[in-house]
Amino acid sequence: MLEEDMEVAIKVVVVGNGAVGKSSMIQRYCKGIFTKDYKKTIGVDFLERQIVVNDEDVRLMLWDTAGQEEFDAITKAYYRGAQACVLVFSTTDRESFEAISSWREKVEMEVGDIPTVLVQNKIDLLDDTVIKNEEAEGLAKKLKLRFYRASVKEDLNVNEGVFNTTSGNHPNHNSSDLNGREVINLRPNKQRTKKNKIPFGSCTLL
């Protein structure tokens, strides 16, 4: 098998209620675009972005899962194999905030306790917020998740925050970080491999 036939990939699932901005977040990160038109995700969709980790090309696959309950049977199957999870709720949607613990449980039932971050989207609409800052921070602390406030519309904390990918090993990345949910430290999957040809790198989603 030729070295160029090998592929290194990371699978991340983006999970939460409908209309919280999951699809828009992935579109913003992968394509750099934003659209106001809301289109319900039917089942599962995904986009990808090529990144470089330790001088190796890595395919970052972001899976956009439907937030509606009628698609649960479909979306659960696509959680499998995920190496990380982004839980998203909306500043203006109380129900989406209250559903976060349930979403996390659904993912854990399929893939176990994978590295996860919590994201409050639509902070450009703080005037219409239905969630207090201390409530959101309290939930993140309770679930031991790193917490980000983001605005996909204004492109705040998407590339630099939620999907902040860096090459090499961060000096503070260790097992206690992962257990305390301070960082997401990912090791790409070697999907088609040759022994000792492609070293594992690390990719951080903060």
What residues contact residue 57 under an 8 Å CB cut-off, 6+ apart? 8, 50, 51
| CATH number for the domain harbouring residue 146 | 3.40.50.300
Decide the pairing of beta strands 84-90 and 116-121.
parallel
Per-residue tokens: 101: 């613990």
Decide the pairing of beta strands 7-15 and 189-192.
antiparallel
Alpha carbons 11 and 19: distance in angstroms, whole number: 22
| Cβ–Cβ < 8 Å for 40, 68 | yes
**What is the domain extent for residue 187?**
3-205
Q: How confident is the model at residue 92 (pLDDT cuts 50, 70, 90)?
A: very high
Across the chain, mean pLDDT equals: 75
Alpha carbons 57 and 159: distance in angstroms, whole number: 18
Report whether pLDDT(64) > 60: yes
Total number of domains in the chain: 1
For 78-87, how does the pLDDT look when each residue is reduced to its tens digit (9 = 90+)?
888 999 999 9
Most confident of 21-25, 99-103, 168-172: 99-103
Which pLDDT score, from 0 to 100, does residue 51 have?
81
For 112-150, how does the pLDDT look when each residue is reduced to its tens digit (9 = 90+)?
999 999 999 999 998 999 999 999 999 999 999 999 999
Alpha carbons 37 and 26: distance in angstroms, whole number: 15
Which pLDDT score, from 0 to 100, does residue 94 have?
97
Q: Residue 36 class from Cβ within 10 Å (0-12 exposed, 13-18 middle, 19+ buried)?
A: exposed
Q: Comparing 38 with 111, which gets the higher pLDDT?
A: 111
What whole-number percentage of the chain has pLDDT above 70? 68
Which pLDDT score, from 0 to 100, does residue 161 have?
64
Alpha carbons 60 and 62: distance in angstroms, whole number: 6
Which pLDDT score, from 0 to 100, does residue 180 have?
36
Alpha helices in the chain (DSSP H): 22-31, 72-79, 94-98, 100-111, 133-143, 175-179
